[in-house]
Amino acid sequence: MEDNTCVELNLQTAKKIAEFAEEKAKEIKVPVVISIVDNGGNVILVHRMEDSLLASIDISLNKAYTAASLKMPTDNLKDLCKPGGELYGIQHTNNRLVIFGGGIPFIYKGKVVGAIGVSGGSVEEDICVCEYALREIMTK
C-alpha cells in the first residue's frame, strides 16, 4: 500500500481536505457531503455543501468508515462483494459498510490514519472529488 497523503490527519488538515474537495465539487457542479474520519472510523469532520442530498450525510460517513476500517478504497469492494467474491455479503454484516466508490483511506508512513468519504454525485464523480482532494493536500 503506497502513501497517498504526506500529512498528519487532524482537524486542521481535514478542513483543508474538505476545502479541496468542495473546490472540485463546485468545478464539476455537484453538491456533495464530505466526511473525514480517523483510523478508527471516528468522525473528524462532516462538510455539507448547499443543496446536497440529506441522504448523502450518512452515505459519506459510511464510505469514510468503510475505507478506514477495511483499509482500502470502497471502489475496490465492488468486485470483491459480487456473488462468488471473497467478501460476498460483507455489507450485511455491518450496517455501515458501503460497497461502491467514494471512500478512500489516507495512508501516512505506510499506515492508514483515516479516510475521506464523498457522496452526492455519481460514483465516478464522488471518486473524482476524493482523489482530487488527496492529490491537492499532498502538494500543499
User: pLDDT digit string (tens) for 93-118?
Assistant: 989 999 999 999 998 888 999 999 99
pTM score, whole prediction = 0.92
| pLDDT score, position 140 | 73
The predicted-structure confidence for 3-40, as pLDDT tens digits, reads as follows: 554 457 899 999 999 999 999 999 999 999 999 999 99
For residue 95, give the 3-state DSSP assignment: coil
Distance CA 97, CA 117 (A): 12
Q: Determine contact, residues 78/117, Cβ cutoff 8 Å.
A: no
Roughly how many angstroms between the first and final C-alpha of the chain, as a whole number?
22
- Provide the edge-to-edge strand list for the sheet that holds 33-38: 43-48, 33-38, 111-119, 103-108
Question: Homologous superfamily of 11-117+129-139 in CATH?
Answer: Haem-degrading domain (3.30.450.150)
Distance CA 138, CA 126 (A): 19
Q: Residue with C-alpha cell 459498510?
A: 97
The predicted-structure confidence for 77-86, as pLDDT tens digits, reads as follows: 999 999 999 9
| pLDDT score, position 108 | 84
Closest Cα partner for 66 from 10, 11, 130?
A: 130
Domain positions in the chain are 11-117+129-139
Confidence of residue 1 (pLDDT cuts 50, 70, 90): very low
